[in-house]
Chains A and B, each alone.
Chain A
Amino acid sequence: MIGQSEASPHKTFFIAVVVLMFIVFVGRLLQLQFIYQDEYGKKSAENSIRSIAHDPIRGYLFDRNGMLIVDNRPSYTVTITPSEFQTIKIGYLADLLQLDTSFIQERITKGKLFNRFAPIKIKRDISFQELSALEENRLQLPGVDYQIESKRYYPTMAKAPHLFGYVKEVSDQQITETPNTYRPGDIVGATGLEAKYEHDLRGQKGVEFITVNARGELLGAYNDGKNDLPPNEGNDLFLALDARLQSFAESLMTNKRGAIIAIDPDDGGVLALVSKPDYDLTQFGSVTPINVWKALNTDEAKPLFNRATLTRYPPGSTFKMVLAAAALQEGVINPTWGVNCSGVFQYGNKAFKDHIPHNYTGMIESIQRSCNVYYYQLMLKTGFGKWTEYGTAFGFGSATGIDILEENSGLLPSEEYYDRVYGKGRWTQGYLVSLSIGQGEVGVTPLQMACYVATLGNKGKFHTPHVVRKIRDKSSGRIINTPIETRVISLSDNVWYLIREGMKRAVNSAGGTALTARVPGIDVAGKTGTAQNPHGNDHAWFIGFAPFDHPKIAICVLVENAGFGGVAAAPIAGLCIEQYLFGSIIRKTLPQPPTITEEQALQD
């Protein structure tokens, strides 16, 4: 046997093995380099390219006159890069920054899970002393650095904490619920406009791509930075708010409990929103000291509670116009109908009192002088159904749809409601007598009241209230107007005349209950109310609009535990109207607290 003949099976076997190897390897190459190329290409990019996020500047807030009211200021944030940090230095760093070691440890552990080469934020808004201590010890603390971030700053006197809201660090839940948006340590709007418009305000993170080697060491910018994306600033909000009116209204409510909300009757824009007592937003610099939180949360005055949209009280006499509108429009009475008020109304075996005998009272006088007997009788003539129907039309019993997150719907009782609560046939018409003058179960928010009086002012156009008028898109520079939603309550001209005339006389004519809301040179129209309070002093209401013919401002003032609306609430409303329409207070003498007899006359 010498060599192998050319066609031997042995040679064929060897050739077959080599050809098979070639075919299999080419097939595998095609599979890896063509079919899975995208997948492996992505993996190779992930291997060597890391992205570093850069936080955008949060959007600014401007008032209706273009005044900057929510601004950003630089603040220093301490960061740790886990891959470089020496764990034994943790106690030293904790002392320096007055933090818990366990807190720092937890942050590092969490950050490592994300990317141990990316800096994680340990403490925000450090003081100058802390910053200089850090700088001095820089060499002993490898991996510790600081970033310049922005924090909210409020340059004007308008504080409006409930309206603006505060920001806080994003929660784990939010990170998972909105994928690809937040990383641990990011800040996010928590309440008010900051929360409602978070999507606009936060902007878009910038990304810087860097190249690292297999050990994760930085080698430099990837592709000369050509793939980097600068951060997109957050969008700016232009509010309907008037910063000067806001700060003025806030000052009027100092040391009071209650709310002021002013609305532009032309479009439903919120001119001012005050809730007192309130809190200082500058204490909420994304990390809120525990003691501040505790104090705010346990304060029995509930400073965190937004009274303007959340509190719910009976509207008192301010609600009388609802019944008046229902009765007149439905033709239950003709405009000349009147009652003879003896100061008391006997229904069954129960006597319902009025403040004073009003004698003969027609529609206009009933509003002007707030005659209860008139409405007791009118309610029984008009019926529960119509009252509920017109109350609903004016927006009671349901949320207004304002663009801040927290809002109470209030409560507007109906026959179905009483049937449900008390049982069918277990309640009497006597229940209606209280409702007719806005007492009893009926509950409204100051915001609902402001919308209601704005609708009375503009004769039937109910605009959904809104704080933000326009949004400036920072990436395109375009300004987007927020749409105005309007529904119409159509009442005949004569009905509008009678109701509005009554409100005008309440402020401007002798015998009116709201004389304290009068503003020199301007026809103010309004109505006082006093919410009976079984737990303490009554709450004072005033709603009004001005100027009478073409109203530019509609306002609701609520002062808790302050007695009559004409005494406690109406003077505040008058000053606000004057401030807004003239730009300042022009009257020489400020209203003085009324004497006892004057107070008697202001009962409603």
Chain B
Amino acid sequence: MKTWLKEHIDFPILCIVCCLLAMGITSIFSATYDTGSQMYFQKQLTFMGVGFLLMILITVIPFRTLQLLSFPLYGLSILILVIVLMTGKVVAGSRSWFGIGGFGLQPSEIAKVTTILALASFLSQRNRSLHHLKDVIITFSIVLVPVGLILLQPDMGTAIIYIASFLLILYWAGASNLLLITLIAPGVAALASLFGTTAFVIVILLILLLLFMQRGNRLMAAMTFSFTVLVGASTTFIFDRLAPHQQKRILTFLNADADPLGAGYNVAQSKIAIGSGGLFGKGFLQGTQTQLNFLPAQWTDFIYCVPSEEFGFIGAFFILILLTALLLRGIYLSSIVKSRYASIIVIGIVSIFAVHTIINIGMSMGMLPVIGVPLPFLSYGGSNLITNMMMAGLLLHMYANRREY
């Protein structure tokens, strides 16, 4: 019995997920303590229950069934994304929610799972190759359709998660370096040009060097380079012609310290919360930043500040260890599963968790721009939590079926 369990259940991932959920629910309890109601706490517990059921369901679903369902589920999620654009609720300027009873559903979260399933299904088909233009176009379409719909909502943060994770999946699935450079270089050049001419020139030279090191299609490389320079140059051109308040918004996005009373306020308060925690923290429910609401809606995107303030370095470090262990375990799993389908799904999930973690904690500690993305398993939010637990279910599923082809 014991060996059977060990054979079929990935205890490390299960343990890590349970620990993260425990830290998350504790932090939400603390962050919403002074509101007087335990609404957030109870709702999150409910989501957790639903999430567990879905996680178990996904774990035990037959491997082939899942594979067969991949495209239909993807299609369904695209349909829902279209419907939400037409009938959804507007929250904080984005039409990305369905209101169902007292609960909200965010389809762009669930669509993460179905998009990965569809991508994995397509890329694992016989004779598909990222070296064929047709397959590349189909692969891109699978991702760009939901991304386009999400940008229409508009929800910049979620779109960034999709694109960043997609690039990692492409890399894992064997895309050529030239293709990856072609995808990444223009964005990097545009960003660099906003930091000044010197940064722009250095980046351009690096890209040139990278392109020279690639064997193969010189014509493609030259086109990539020209496009990159064009995008970089036009970025400053466009930026200079923007209205001052638009310029300010972009600069604050890049450097929150430039606007300590606006967007920078949250980052400043977040750094104060984390920094003032010290080694052992101020104690549970004793964090002044948390308890006195110096961070608006701290239970969502800035949840990492709560354990960092109240449990100090010990708490913050513990969460980092858990998330790192989850990601490393995922990378390990992606390399031991026998099927390409499973491998791409696992690495896709690892990518999504990694991008969420890096952007969220990086933002909380004032190292990255403020992009509103939740921290996996810790932030309050039903759709996100359930999606994360479904993805954890997929990891467990892939472990249990790791010998399947």
List CB contacts (< 8 Å) of B327-342 with chain A: 327-328, 331, 334-340, 342
Q: Which residue of B lies closest to A22 (CB)?
A: B324
Interface centre among A6, A26, A29, A41 (most CB of B within 10 A): A29
List CB contacts (< 8 Å) of A1-42 with chain B: 1-6, 8, 10-11, 13-15, 17-19, 21-22, 24-26, 28-30, 32-34, 36-37, 39-41
Partner of B316, one of A10, A21, A22, A33: A33
The list of the 6 closest CB pairs from A to B, nearest first, reads: A40-B275, A44-B276, A3-B343, A32-B275, A48-B288, A22-B324
Partner of B293, one of A21, A37, A214: A214
Count, chain B residues at interface, CB 8 A: 48
Contact between A47 and B365 (Cβ–Cβ < 8 Å)?
Answer: no
Q: Mark B169-211, 1 if CB is under 8 A from A, else 0.
A: 0011010000000000000000000000000000000000000
CB-defined contacts of A19 to chain B, threshold 8 Å: 324
| Given A4-B172, A33-B274, 20 additional A-B pairs, CB 8 A | A3-B339, A3-B342, A8-B335, A19-B324, A25-B361, A25-B365, A26-B320, A33-B278, A43-B272, A44-B275, A44-B288, A45-B288, A47-B272, A47-B289, A47-B292, A49-B288, A211-B288, A211-B292, A212-B292, A219-B292
Q: Which of the four size classes fits the interface of chain A? A: 35 or more
Contact between B289 and A33 (Cβ–Cβ < 8 Å)?
Answer: no
Contact between A1 and B288 (Cβ–Cβ < 8 Å)?
Answer: no
Partner of B294, one of A15, A47, A49: A47
Give bound CA distance, A32 to B342, whole Å.
40
Partner of B324, one of A4, A8, A18, A41: A18
Known: A21-B324, A44-B289. A36 touches B335 (CB 8 A): no
B354 at the interface (CB under 8 A from A): yes
A213 at the interface (CB under 8 A from B): yes
Contact between B275 and A3 (Cβ–Cβ < 8 Å)?
Answer: no
List CB contacts (< 8 Å) of A81-116 with chain B: none
B116 at the interface (CB under 8 A from A): no
Q: List 9 A-B contacts (CB under 8 A).
A: A2-B339, A4-B172, A6-B336, A14-B331, A14-B347, A18-B324, A26-B317, A49-B288, A214-B292
B374 at the interface (CB under 8 A from A): no
Contact between A33 and B328 (Cβ–Cβ < 8 Å)?
Answer: no
Q: Mark A430-452, 1 if CB is under 8 A from B, else 0.
A: 00000000000000000000000
B228 at the interface (CB under 8 A from A): no
Known: A32-B271, A214-B294. A17 touches B277 (CB 8 A): no
Known: A11-B335, A32-B274. A48 touches B354 (CB 8 A): no
Contact between A48 and B294 (Cβ–Cβ < 8 Å)?
Answer: yes
Give bound CA distance, A28 to B368, whole Å.
12
Q: Mark A529-554, 1 if CB is under 8 A from B, else 0.
A: 00000000000000000000000000
**Minimum Cβ distance to chain A for residue B249 (Å):** 24
Known: A10-B172, A29-B317, A32-B365. A44 touches B273 (CB 8 A): yes
Give bound CA distance, A1 to B124, whole Å.
9
Tell me the interface secondary structure of chain B in the complex. Answer: helix
**Minimum Cβ distance to chain B for residue A273 (Å):** 56
Partner of A41, one of B275, B308, B340: B275
Q: Which residues of B are at the interface with A, using a C-beta cutoff of 8 A?
A: 168, 171-172, 174, 269, 271-279, 288-289, 292-294, 308, 312-313, 316-317, 320, 324, 327-328, 331, 334-340, 342-343, 347, 350, 354, 357-358, 361-362, 365, 367, 405
Give bound CA distance, A602 to B128, whole Å.
134
Partner of A213, one of B271, B293, B350: B293
Contact between B276 and A13 (Cβ–Cβ < 8 Å)?
Answer: no
Partner of B279, one of A25, A33, A211, A212: A33
Interface centre among A25, A29, A45 (most CB of B within 10 A): A25
Known: A25-B361, A29-B316, A43-B272. A13 touches B354 (CB 8 A): no
Give bound CA distance, A25 to B288, whole Å.
23
Give bound CA distance, A44 to B275, whole Å.
9
Contact between A40 and B274 (Cβ–Cβ < 8 Å)?
Answer: yes
Contact between A1 and B357 (Cβ–Cβ < 8 Å)?
Answer: no
Q: Which residue of B lies closest to A10 (CB)?
A: B172
**Minimum Cβ distance to chain B for residue A243 (Å):** 54
Give bound CA distance, A151 to B168, whole Å.
76
CB-defined contacts of A211 to chain B, threshold 8 Å: 288, 292
Give bound CA distance, A211 to B291, whole Å.
11
Contact between B271 and A40 (Cβ–Cβ < 8 Å)?
Answer: yes
Give bound CA distance, A301 to B269, whole Å.
64
**Minimum Cβ distance to chain A for residue B49 (Å):** 30
Give bound CA distance, A575 to B328, whole Å.
103
Give bound CA distance, A1 to B129, whole Å.
10
Give bound CA distance, A106 to B336, whole Å.
75
Q: Which residue of B lies closest to A17 (CB)?
A: B354
Q: Which residue of A lies closest to B343 (CB)?
A: A3
Q: Which residue of A lies closest to B295 (CB)?
A: A214
CB-defined contacts of B276 to chain A, threshold 8 Å: 37, 40-41, 43-45
Contact between A41 and B278 (Cβ–Cβ < 8 Å)?
Answer: yes
List CB contacts (< 8 Å) of A204-238 with chain B: 211-214, 219
Known: A1-B340, A47-B289. A29 touches B272 (CB 8 A): no
CB-defined contacts of A21 to chain B, threshold 8 Å: 324, 354, 357-358
Give bound CA distance, A273 to B248, whole Å.
69
CB-defined contacts of A44 to chain B, threshold 8 Å: 272-273, 275-276, 288-289
Give bound CA distance, A6 to B278, whole Å.
40
CB-defined contacts of B367 to chain A, threshold 8 Å: 24, 28
CB-defined contacts of B277 to chain A, threshold 8 Å: 33, 37
Contact between B293 and A3 (Cβ–Cβ < 8 Å)?
Answer: no
Partner of A22, one of B269, B292, B320, B365: B320
CB-defined contacts of A49 to chain B, threshold 8 Å: 288
**Minimum Cβ distance to chain B for residue A50 (Å):** 12
Known: A33-B279, A41-B278, A211-B292. A2 touches B324 (CB 8 A): no
Give bound CA distance, A4 to B168, whole Å.
14
List CB contacts (< 8 Å) of A368-410 with chain B: none
CB-defined contacts of B288 to chain A, threshold 8 Å: 44-45, 47-49, 211
CB-defined contacts of A15 to chain B, threshold 8 Å: 328, 331
**Minimum Cβ distance to chain A for residue B376 (Å):** 13
CB-defined contacts of B358 to chain A, threshold 8 Å: 21
